Structure 1
Amino acid sequence: MNVLIKGAGDLATGIAYELFRRGHRIIMTELPVPLTVRRSVAMSRAVCEGSAVVEGMTGVLVTDIEEAQAVMDSGKIAVIVDEAADIRKEFCPDVLVDAILAKKNTGTSREDAPLVIAAGPGFTAGVDCHCVIETKRGHTLGCAIWEGSALPNTGVPGEVGGYSRERLIQASADGVMEQEAEIGDEVSAGQIVAVTGGKPVYAKMSGMIRGMLQSKAPVKKGMKIGDIDARLDRRYCVTISDKARCVGAGAVRAAEQYYGTYAVVVLAAGQGLRFGGGKLLADVEGRPLYRHLFDTLAELPDVWKVVVTGEKAIMEDAAKRGMAVVKNTQPERGSSRSMKLGLKACLDTLPNLRGVLFTVCDQPRLTAGTFVRLLRTAEQNPGRIVRASAGGRGGNPVVWDAAYAGELLAATGDRGGRPVMEKHAEEIILVEIEKEELHDIDRKADLTGEQ
């Protein structure tokens, strides 16, 4: 999807990160002089430096929609100085997220995009946006609100490391900000950490500077210009916060609930006759064969997964990992039965299902990156069949658009979805992966590489 995020601060960057991981194209807007405190983990830094990298995600400063499209085509995020977010008229986003955190609506309307999401208080779902994401720390942090508003701003900072108000660094006077301490520096209570309007600003507690406005930024007396973290861990200075991740995950859930989502079906009910039985429980490099796939899928925590199997050990392991389980007591009826059982579970559970990725348990070399690429390709090519391949030879996994559900549910025998694939060959998109990832364990000789 095309996503426009108003704001490029640390929380907006957390939202961008969660959306970017799922392959969406993102433009972020920012002020000419950003007022981001946690600059080291914010895309707003691109305004001053030309580019910014946060946890492997790169933002690049652009000046117009043509540059933005080129940046997004290269797999990066476009950042533009555009306080009014006028670029939305050319970009035509599927989703607009207001992540300015101004505690009030500064000009966002439900008419700005098919889905408008707002972060924090100052908005009412159903009035000036479609959905509000809760930003207040606590039990409801990250929840998507489709009717009503987020909890009101109390003016009291959330507790981090046992401290609340004390961790704030606030301007002592109107004027220009000058740093006396850098992000990552350890400071003591009473130490001068900045000068604003010619007056010193003192730390209220000891700890590590986690955030600080850049020098020369204009400030007002009492304005937040930095924060201190008592935990003294530099990782918190360079990684997206738990709060930002939670709010980002909430925005993703809202978008998927609105537009639909994808699921993964693990087919693990085969009899393994050519192997001699018990194939999926066979030891492969110190783990049961099926567990290689389970461990890989654990790297995709936000995708709903269902396992179709008749093996008790696999069912128990899947349930412990939070996967849904469908029992297939008749594997002799062919792979089509497992496919249909898994697909039906998806359709019954996910009302806005966009597509299903089917995978098998006997390809131990599959990587999480391959699953992400397949799902990303499917998201960007609705109505198509996306299939892994090596050297032009197709194989598993395969992502089916929900449009093929009816034909897949009508399949019989042991050919699974291959007849449907043959019928719609022109709709197949092949995604090249490493050849070894397609290697499957069919016979015991495959464990040793013998012919």
Structure 2
Amino acid sequence: MKIWIRGAGDLATGIASRLYRSGHQLLMTELPVPLTVRRTVALSRAVYEQHAEVEDMSALLVHSIKEALEVQAIGKIPVIIEEPEVILKEYQPDVVVDAILAKRNLGTEISWAPFVVGVGPGFTAGVDCHCVVETKRGHTLGDVIWKGEPIPNTGVPGNVGGFTLERLIKATADGVIEPKVQIGDIVEKGQLVAITGGKPVYAKMSGIVRGMLQPGVTVQKNLKAGDIDARCERKNCYLISDKARAIGGGVLEAVTQFERIYGQYAVVVLAAGSGSRFGGNKLQELKSDKPMYQYMLDKMEGLKGFPTYIVTGADDIAEAAKKYGMNIVENKKPEEGISRSVKLGLEACLAEHPEIRGILFSVCDQPELTFSTMFTLIRKAMLRPQQIICTGKDKEMGNPVLWDKKYFSELMKLTGDVGGKKVMQNHLQDIIIVEIDEAELKDIDYRRDLE
């Protein structure tokens, strides 16, 4: 897969190592002046040295996407200084991994690529990315989070060799840094290790200098400028850290899951109901100043990697859906029941994607349904093939429902105002319920439901 990694620091390089060794094509972007402390194990070094070697990886600084592709063709990793707009337009990645590690999102959006991974605090899975990888040391380091946020930034570095804050070398003043020791040197507590802005910086502990900013970089007071390791193993100065490898493993797990579902599943949204119980066209009804159908369309921003269809008889819904790249399936006879919409959506999808493994059917009147829930159903279908995957609460089944291709023929036999639940009753042993919040399951059938 074509993967763009934002950032090329030591943790981003750990991520790159996992993906590179798994055969993916990588492009990494960096700042004009990288501020990577552990630069001996970071491909960001290519920015000011033109090339960088880390373990079995070789990176080259490039100045265009054309040049980047040429570097990829010889098994090396291109590092480029470029704006996101250019990368997205010219490289068109399958996957974006934001590994800037800024503790906040610097602009990455879930719509940037078919699959977007956030790394560390500042991201929310299902909102600005598809998933987030945990970066906090501990038992959950490297975990893939598919809904919500990782552990917040505490401001305290992880424990390495029994030390936390003491192992940091921080700038004492604004200005240019002049290192007085090199990476790999053994230093004693209280020893002069650098000068920043004309003021001395002293080691707060004894150990080996594992990281130090390159000479001549402009720093601000209290910026992390170096790192000391009490374990004093020189080889570790030139090896990707255990933390970076764990985070890289999490990213690889996420990318591999996506690779298994990319283009293998489709989404059909049913939006052709008559709204008889509501007493009008409920999908155009405003909820918090937004038409109800728009809540579902907004989720399509994160589904670029999947064929998406909407079954509707409303011209305004069809026009809005086209803007999200959805395929329009017209149903001007909603009075014939939901079975007609199900079959129309299924027929349209299979006509274009006969080898599709499964289809997620979702209704358009569940405004609180989250993108994370929809994506979880697709991932679960990949892990549990030939099953019916649905949402629910306390073992009560609800919508959406992901149907394996095994059940398509039965869905095509539905008639009248009968949906997939009739088929589900015939295969209760094949149903897997994904428990979600009750609010997500609530559909709007009556006007009072809007309250």
What TM-score bracket applies, with the shorter chain setting the length? 0.5 to 0.7
Please give the secondary structure, in 2, of the residue aligned with 1:87: helix
**1:356-406 CA-partner distances (Å, limit 9, x unpaired):** xxxxxxxxxxxxxxxxxxxxxxxxxxxxxxxxxxxxxxxxxxxxxxxxxxx
- Tell me which residue corresponds to 2:233: 233
Mapping 1:133-212, distance limit 5 Å: 133-212=133-212
Letter in 1 for 2:164: S
Letter in 2 for 1:118: G
- Tell me which residue corresponds to 2:61: 61
The 1:110/1:350 distance shift into structure 2, 3 A limit, reads closer
Which runs of 5 or more structure 2 residues have no equivalent in the other structure?
262-378, 384-451
- Tell me which residue corresponds to 1:327: none
- Tell me which residue corresponds to 2:129: 129
**1:279-328 CA-partner distances (Å, limit 9, x unpaired):** xxxxxxxxxxxxxxxxxxxxxxxxxxxxxxxxxxxxxxxxxxxxxxxxxx
Please give the secondary structure, in 2, of the residue aligned with 1:227: strand
Mapping 1:338-377, distance limit 5 Å: 352=382
Distance 1:29 1:85 in 2: 12
- Tell me which residue corresponds to 1:90: 90
The 1:131/1:258 distance shift into structure 2, 3 A limit, reads same
Mapping 1:43-58, distance limit 5 Å: 43-58=43-58
Mapping 1:440-451, distance limit 5 Å: none
The 1:44/1:83 distance shift into structure 2, 3 A limit, reads farther
Shifted more, 24-33 versus 84-93: the winner is: 84-93
- Tell me which residue corresponds to 1:20: 20
Distance 1:250 1:76 in 2: 23
Letter in 2 for 1:3: I
Please give the secondary structure, in 2, of the residue aligned with 1:35: coil
How far residue 86 of structure 1 moved from its aligned partner, in angstroms, is: 2.9
- Is the aligned partner of 1:253 residue 2:253? yes
Please give the secondary structure, in 2, of the residue aligned with 1:124: coil
How far residue 88 of structure 1 moved from its aligned partner, in angstroms, is: 2.4
The 1:48/1:167 distance shift into structure 2, 3 A limit, reads same
**1:112-137 CA-partner distances (Å, limit 9, x unpaired):** 11000010000101111111000000
Distance 1:254 1:115 in 2: 9
How far residue 352 of structure 1 moved from its aligned partner, in angstroms, is: 3.8
Give the length in aligned residue pairs. 268
Distance 2:197 2:56 in 1: 37
- Tell me which residue corresponds to 2:440: none
Which runs of 5 or more structure 1 residues have no equivalent in the other structure?
262-348, 354-451
TM-score when scaled to structure 2? 0.58
Distance 1:6 1:85 in 2: 13
- Tell me which residue corresponds to 1:310: none
Please give the secondary structure, in 2, of the residue aligned with 1:136: coil
How far residue 233 of structure 1 moved from its aligned partner, in angstroms, is: 0.3
- Tell me which residue corresponds to 1:79: 79
Distance 2:83 2:191 in 1: 35
How far residue 89 of structure 1 moved from its aligned partner, in angstroms, is: 1.6
Please give the secondary structure, in 2, of the residue aligned with 1:23: coil
Mapping 1:299-310, distance limit 5 Å: none
- Tell me which residue corresponds to 2:111: 111
Distance 1:35 1:352 in 2: 40
CA contact (8 A) 1:176 1:219 kept: yes
- Tell me which residue corresponds to 1:220: 220
Distance 1:203 1:78 in 2: 35
Distance 1:35 1:219 in 2: 9
**1:204-223 CA-partner distances (Å, limit 9, x unpaired):** 00000000000111111011
Distance 2:172 2:240 in 1: 28
Please give the secondary structure, in 1, of the residue aligned with 2:66: helix
Distance 1:350 1:249 in 2: 20
Distance 1:50 1:125 in 2: 35
Mapping 1:360-439, distance limit 5 Å: none
TM-score when scaled to structure 1? 0.58
How far residue 79 of structure 1 moved from its aligned partner, in angstroms, is: 0.3
